[in-house]
Structure 1
């Protein structure tokens, strides 16, 4: 009965248009399901595109984590990908640029709604560069002995339970090299150890478009104040508008062209990967 309540509640909230954060059926902790994947190893360079970036997430071993009933969730740009259990690691190939990372602790799979979180463990953004590898360490009992030199001490991912660490630090004994791969299975499925570049690109497009639409509204208000805007006639409410071209419109048009080219490149890449089509004979 307890598992049905949060599921029904989440479905109700989803239907109402709210953003619900949940990992129902995916949050199984190490007390119930210890990680059993292979020991840590970097993925080969030819298995990810060097034009993108690679994020490694790992959680060092502790009795606290081993006794956990539910494991915390990891989100990239607002999308859930995995729940990280004791003594485990995984990775994600991401698009260059600003990536927002959040961790939430679930209660029966539910984690929050809109701006409210039951337990928000981490909430910060980092700018990732092409060809670079980043290591994010999670431990609720002990922080890294050394802070990342490229992060401001006040940066959200430079303090707290989830922190960005250097490669040298991650390669120490007892760190990522001592963890096991967070495999996906029926008891604790996840969507990690894969490329999420296209998801990132789509999210970046939507985010940029929203920003430009807001910029357009402000530009119209400014042009009205400067007298560069004609009001609609009383008998034709669909007329009127700015007397000069909008800079925001130019940016929106360019953004749409760039995104259309991106989609075309994806289609061409898929055709090449599939062998260029099919043959009926």
Structure 2
């Protein structure tokens, strides 16, 4: 109740995983042994990210497990000796991990314990493996990752498929089930959500580009300032390239929404009606 009031009154972003953060000491993972999901379970036009946490006594004795966020949305808390996955759209994905205290994790830019904060550029058709262990780093760095990249150091690191397939790595973990004691929203596609994030990010960049373009036109004398008696007049004397890009982006997103609605209609009419 207090959190809801705080968000409504102040507009703050509250990071929390209350009711989802139980650790392995209280609730050990009991899912099936690791196995890759089938190719028919995800669209190769997107990307697939596996998250896993290898066994350690520290993690096994944990009362609360750390949270995992993709693009500022919480999806799961990763317990000892577990794995899960998410299907995402191609592009830049922001990945963060926070350690909770009684489920509370942070407020706006403040975090009680920010374990990881990184961006990962993912490509269509590719599979990525993110390894979390607070006691030991992987013995091999990812060959395609800059050594200075946040995911090439620290507790959460990107590893290669070959490394993840080692006997003591991903293949030794168990599936992170979602249940009443530790519900989660992983092992699913979040493509629509990440597509929306891509659109919003591109729109912000284009709006910034538009402001810069207008400044350049003003300097070049190709912009009429509004009259003092009619503040709604004025503007550039030539078409803006940024406006063209914005219209194109809006058309692409409108087409994407139409495609989603069509898919929903097809799925909702998948059965047959006896009458």
Q: TM above 0.5, one fold?
A: yes
The 1:206/1:278 distance shift into structure 2, 3 A limit, reads: farther
User: Does the alignment pair 1:12 with 2:5?
Assistant: yes
**Secondary structure of 1:136's partner?**
strand
Of 33, 37, 41 in structure 2, the residue corresponding to residue 43 of structure 1 is: 37
Equivalence map 1:12-31=2 (5 Å): 12-15=5-8, 16-31=10-25
Q: Please, which runs of 5 or more residues in structure 1 have no aligned partner? A: 1-6
Give, in angstroms, the shift of residue 278 of structure 1: 7.2
Of 212-221 and 63-72, more deviation after overlay is shown by 212-221
Give 4+ residue runs of structure 1 displaced > 4 Å after superposition: 276-280
Instruction: Report the Cα distance in structure 1 between the residues aligned to 2:266 and 2:52, rounded to whole angstroms.
Output: 35
Aligned match of 1:143: 137
Conservation of the 8 A alpha-carbon contact between 1:271 and 1:277: no
Aligned match of 1:3: none
The aligned length equals: 274
Instruction: Report the Cα distance in structure 1 between the residues aligned to 2:225 and 2:16, rounded to whole angstroms.
Output: 48
Instruction: Report the Cα distance in structure 2 between the residues aligned to 1:211 and 1:248, rounded to whole angstroms.
Output: 10
Instruction: Report the Cα distance in structure 1 between the residues aligned to 2:171 and 2:274, rounded to whole angstroms.
Output: 50
Of 88, 96, 108 in structure 2, the residue corresponding to residue 94 of structure 1 is: 88
The 1:120/1:21 distance shift into structure 2, 3 A limit, reads: same
Aligned match of 2:247: 253
Instruction: Report the Cα distance in structure 2 between the residues aligned to 1:236 and 1:221, rounded to whole angstroms.
Output: 21
Q: What TM-score results when the alignment is normalised by the length of structure 1?
A: 0.94
User: How well do the aligned residues superpose, as a CA RMSD in angstroms?
Assistant: 1.4
**Secondary structure of 1:134's partner?**
strand
Instruction: Report the Cα distance in structure 2 between the residues aligned to 1:154 and 1:253, rounded to whole angstroms.
Output: 37
Give, in angstroms, the shift of residue 69 of structure 1: 0.7
Equivalence map 1:160-179=2 (5 Å): 160-179=154-173
Q: What TM-score results when the alignment is normalised by the length of structure 2?
A: 0.96
**Secondary structure of 1:250's partner?**
helix
Of 124-133 and 69-78, more deviation after overlay is shown by 124-133
